[in-house]
Chains A and B, each alone.
Chain A
Amino acid sequence: MTALLSIVGVGKRFGGFVALDGIDLEVQQGERLGLIGPNGSGKSTLVNCVCGTLQNEQGSVRFADEVLDGLSAHQRTRRGLARSFQLPRPFATMTLAENVRIPILYSVNARPQGHLRGAAVDERCLELLGQVGLLAKARQLPRDLTQIEMRKLELARAMAAEPKLLIADEAMAGLSHTEVDEIIALLIRLNEQGVTVIMIEHIMRAVMEFSQRLAVLVAGKKIADGPPKDVVRDPEVVKAYLGE
Chain B
Amino acid sequence: MASLADRTAIAGVAPGMRALPFVLALAAVAVAIFATFRWIDNSYAFFMGYVVLQYIVLGTAWNILGGYTGYVNFGVTAFFAIGAYSTVVFHKLIPAMPLPVMILIGGALAGLVGLGTGYLTLRLRGVFFSIATLALAVVVQTLITNWDFVGGARGAYVLRPRVAPLIGGEYVQYLFLLMLGLCVIVLATARSIERSALGYGFAAIRDDEGAAEASGVPTLRLKLIATTLSGGFMGMAGAPLPYYVTYLDPASGFSLNYAVNAIAMPLIGGTGSWLGPVIGAVLVGGLQEYLRVTISSAVNVLVAGVLMVAFVILAPQGIVGLFKRKKK
* A contact residues vs B (CB 8 Å cutoff): 51-53, 72-74, 77-78, 82-83, 85, 89-95, 97-98, 101-103, 105-107, 109-110, 119, 121-123, 125-126, 138-139, 157-158, 160-161
Instruction: Determine which residue in B9, B212, B214 has the highest number of CB atoms from chain A within 10 A of its CB, and name it.
Output: B214
A77 to B220 CA separation, bound complex (whole angstroms): 15
In the bound complex, residues from chain B placing their C-beta under 8 Å from that of A92 are 207-208
In the bound complex, residues from chain A placing their C-beta under 8 Å from that of B216 are 74, 77-78, 102-103, 106-107, 110, 161
Q: Given the known inter-chain contacts A53-B210, A91-B203, A94-B203, please indicate yes or no for A102 contacting B215, CB distance below 8 A.
A: yes
A123 to B7 CA separation, bound complex (whole angstroms): 8
Instruction: Determine which residue in B208, B211, B217, B219 has the highest number of CB atoms from chain A within 10 A of its CB, and name it.
Output: B211
Q: Given the known inter-chain contacts A107-B215, A110-B216, please indicate yes or no for A139 contacting B207, CB distance below 8 A.
A: no
A77 to B206 CA separation, bound complex (whole angstroms): 19
**B contacts with A: majority SS:** helix
Contact B210 A102 (CB under 8 A): no
Contact A73 B213 (CB under 8 A): yes
In the bound complex, residues from chain B placing their C-beta under 8 Å from that of A72 are 213, 218, 220
**Interface residue count on the B side (C-beta < 8 Å):** 28
Give A209 Cβ to nearest chain B Cβ, in Å. Answer: 27
Contact A102 B200 (CB under 8 A): yes
Measured CB to CB, the nearest residue on chain A to B197 is: A105
In the bound complex, residues from chain A placing their C-beta under 8 Å from that of B213 are 52-53, 72-74, 77
In the bound complex, residues from chain B placing their C-beta under 8 Å from that of A160 are 215
Contact A126 B10 (CB under 8 A): yes
Contact A102 B201 (CB under 8 A): yes
Contact A94 B219 (CB under 8 A): no
A72 to B122 CA separation, bound complex (whole angstroms): 14
Total CB contacts across the A-B interface at under 8 A: 114
Give A91 Cβ to nearest chain B Cβ, in Å. Answer: 4
In the bound complex, residues from chain A placing their C-beta under 8 Å from that of B214 are 51, 53, 73-74, 77, 82-83, 85, 158
Contact A101 B217 (CB under 8 A): no
Measured CB to CB, the nearest residue on chain A to B2 is: A126
* B contact residues vs A (CB 8 Å cutoff): 4, 7-13, 197, 200-201, 203-204, 206-208, 210-220, 272
Q: Given the known inter-chain contacts A97-B11, A126-B11, please indicate yes or no for A103 contacting B215, CB distance below 8 A.
A: yes
Contact B200 A98 (CB under 8 A): yes
A5 to B53 CA separation, bound complex (whole angstroms): 56
A123 to B2 CA separation, bound complex (whole angstroms): 12
Q: Given the known inter-chain contacts A101-B12, A109-B197, please indicate yes or no for A89 contacting B208, CB distance below 8 A.
A: yes
A52 to B201 CA separation, bound complex (whole angstroms): 19
Give B71 Cβ to nearest chain A Cβ, in Å. Answer: 15
Measured CB to CB, the nearest residue on chain A to B216 is: A107
A156 to B179 CA separation, bound complex (whole angstroms): 46
Give A41 Cβ to nearest chain B Cβ, in Å. Answer: 22
In the bound complex, residues from chain A placing their C-beta under 8 Å from that of B197 are 105-106, 109
Give B273 Cβ to nearest chain A Cβ, in Å. Answer: 12
Q: Which of A89, A103, A110, A119 contacts B4, CB < 8 Å?
A: A119
- Can you list 6 A-B pairs, Cβ within 8 angstroms, ordered by A? A74-B217, A82-B214, A91-B207, A94-B204, A106-B201, A125-B11
Measured CB to CB, the nearest residue on chain A to B207 is: A91
Contact A95 B215 (CB under 8 A): no
Q: Which of B201, B211, B219 contacts A105, CB < 8 Å?
A: B201
Known: A94-B207, A125-B11. 11 other contacts (CB 8 A): A53-B213, A74-B212, A82-B214, A85-B211, A102-B204, A103-B216, A107-B216, A122-B7, A126-B11, A139-B10, A161-B215
